[in-house]
A and B are shown apart, each in its own frame.
Chain A
Amino acid sequence: MSNAPPIVLVDRCTKHYFRGSERVEVLKSVHLEIARGDFVGLIGPSGSGKTTLLNLIAGLDQPTTGRVVVNGVEISALTESQLALWRTNAVGFVFQFFNLIPVLTAYENVELPLLLLNMSRRRRREQVMNILELVGLGHRLDHRPGQLSGGEQQRVGIARALVTDPALVVADEPTGDLDSRKSQEILDLLQELQVRLQKTILLVTHDLAVAARVRRLLRIQDGQLIDDTENPESTSHPLFGSRNVSSAARRLEEQERVKPSNAAGA
């Protein structure tokens, strides 16, 4: 995996915001490579810059300095409308609060990104049905989000992220609004899909139990990557099925105990 070019390259990126006249450095020279097909977690306390970094990689925002290259495209050099087009084809989004369109059915929600591609109705139908079967909702096509449980809604959300067959899937706290049993189910599903569909997944969380499920875990704090660990139990294979807190997460927990002020919060 190390010989192939990385699917994501974040090349010495910084991101500043202005709060009034005060300059806030949200990302301080982040350098990061993600290998194709990897399942990467990004953990850090609230306000550490996780979402900001994710947004740069997903082409939602531009770095103040530095480059972002995804799948060979230097997205930090694209215009806004070029980026929109790029996102349609290259990224799938999974959100914490699912963010399904309430007035559209599960089927229609999943079909939505395909409407941006030049695709026949029949091919769209095939693709939507396929992915909804994969996430186990083949029987819930005509249900509106309000008629589905939280876990089911997130399955629809995942189906929507994957239906365009994007190389990269980003998930910002995808289990943040689910109970732990439902969270585990969603993580099982993500892992399964990652292996079966060969997706690269970047998952943001502040939950150690969630972080334990990834193959590679990045830790961010105050806008800097401070740790990069591979799960020893899954070095040969991106998928690992343990539902127990892994050694990587245990190590993290120890670090958290050392610096209690940085304890992960909501």
Chain B
Amino acid sequence: MIPVAYSYRSLFVRWKTTFMTATGFTLVVAALIVMLAFIKGIQEVCETSGDPENIIVLNEGQPDEVLSQIPRSTASQIETARGIMRDSQGRPLSSREFFMVASVYDYRIADYVMYPLRGVHPVAFDVHSAVNLVSGRMFRPSQSEIIVGTGLMRSQKMSIGQTINIGRKSWKVVGFFEAKGSAFESEIWCDLDELASQFKREGSYSSMVLRAISPEAAKELAERLSDDKAISVDAMTEVAYYAKQGESAQSLQAAVWVIAWFMGIGAIFGVMNTMFAAISQRLKDIAVLRLMGFMPWEILISFLLEAIFVSLIGGAMGSAIGYMINGFTQSASIGSHDVQFTFRVDSTLLLLALAFSMFMGIIGGIVPALSAMRIRPLEAFRA
């Protein structure tokens, strides 16, 4: 075989061209890593969000919580269902909730900001076991008090005691809560009746969350409620609900690859161009190698390797850049929910990106390498 040194030293000899060509791969690989790390982060949130014992109830055919409406009477009827956990006084662990997205004018940025608002009753904190107050205190009803998820707190730089104008009222931040990184951390919670009356939505709820006695009971109950013709609701476990949201991230993956390929076309043509130029400058090398008895396929491999090296150099630089996004936290909308997710770049993703880069290198390198293989040594010498 032609020494590998022949391929990589040729790259160093024209290192400027090599570097320029490699940067084409760098951009693609960095973008690919960031996009896939985004999807991975979203999927991670979706997989870890949701309590297997909880059931989300929305009105039939309406997967969007903002648009869903469950009448008060239906809510009462649902709460009599078998399988719902009850507290020591025999009350069902059922959280009736009013969810909306309010646009709030923020003077600091002179623009409107969307705040997800959830009105709840105290039972909500028993149903959503993941939700925990971490500082300040609980809101009191009818006092225009709110508590804020830590994700929203960080992104909007909120502090306890600050007031926010929502609707015609000024609300005071009295506490912050965590929810194990779930979508709730991007929300503002307050008293259900106070919020509903302010927005004239007293007659119904957006959703209900029921706590079942076990994960199995939760699945069974969700099915039973969905199938019940007397009440027009869709019910599913929280786990199933978030998994479904994660599917949209999954379908995004196909789009990401399409984008990556389109971006990759530039890199592919870049390396193709560079390799054609390199080959035309090294016709004599090729001729001498062939005269000695090296076979056409050995010439092909040697020049293909050179293209692959370029793509790997570019891919490695892109991986280094892409890796910087690792651990970076950002909020994103899943359905009508905002979630805090963390970009995840793991070794699998880095290897995948490098493999993609190499694959582009092969595609860009194969045509010039084939032409190098077909060079007739005597003609190359006469040239």
Contact = CB atoms under 8 A, between A and B. Distances in A.
A85 B293 contact: yes
A99 B284 contact: yes
A99 B285 CA distance: 7
A245 interface: no
B291 interface: yes
A116 B288 contact: no
Interface stretch (A29-37, A107-115, A219-227): A107-115
B6 A84 contact: no
Nearest to B285: A101
Given A61-B378, A87-B293, A116-B294, A99 B288 contact: yes
A104 B293 contact: no
A108 to B, nearest CB: 7
Contacts of A81: 295
Given A55-B378, A60-B377, A60-B378, A84 B290 contact: yes
Interface residues of B, number: 21
A115 B295 CA distance: 12
Nearest to A103: B9
B383 interface: no
A103 B290 contact: no
- Interface SS majority for chain B: helix
B254 interface: no
A88 interface: yes
Nearest to A97: B284
B230 interface: no
B293 A112 contact: no
Interface in A111-169: 112-113, 115-116
A-side interface size class:
20 to 34
A93 interface: yes
A24 to B, nearest CB: 14
Interface in A76-101: 81, 84-89, 93, 95, 97, 99, 101
B110 interface: no
B109 interface: no
Contacts of B6: 101, 103-104
Given A60-B378, A101-B288, A84 B295 contact: yes
Nearest to A86: B293
A93 to B, nearest CB: 6
A93 B284 CA distance: 14
Contact of A104 (B5, B294, B295): B5
Nearest to A55: B378
Contacts of B9: 103-104
Interface in B1-43: 1-3, 5-6, 9-10, 13
B5 A115 contact: no
Interface in B271-309: 284-285, 287-295
Contacts of B2: 115
Contacts of A113: 292-293
A182 B377 CA distance: 28
Contacts of A84: 290, 293-295
Contacts of B291: 60, 87, 93
A84 B2 CA distance: 15
Nearest to B11: A103
Nearest to B293: A88
Nearest to A109: B288
Contacts of B292: 87-88, 93, 112-113, 116
Contacts of A102: 13, 285
Contacts of B288: 93, 95, 99, 101
Nearest to A144: B9
A113 B294 CA distance: 8
Given A84-B290, A88-B292, A116-B292, A103 B5 contact: yes
Contact of B5 (A60, A88, A99, A108): A108
Given A88-B292, A99-B284, A115 B378 contact: no
Given A87-B293, A93-B292, A104 B3 contact: yes
B337 to A, nearest CB: 58
Interface in B231-290: 284-285, 287-290
Contacts of B289: 101, 112
A132 B289 CA distance: 20
A103 B295 contact: no
5 contacts: A60-B378, A84-B295, A87-B292, A108-B3, A115-B2
Given A101-B288, A112-B292, 6 more contacts: A55-B378, A84-B295, A87-B291, A103-B5, A115-B1, A115-B2
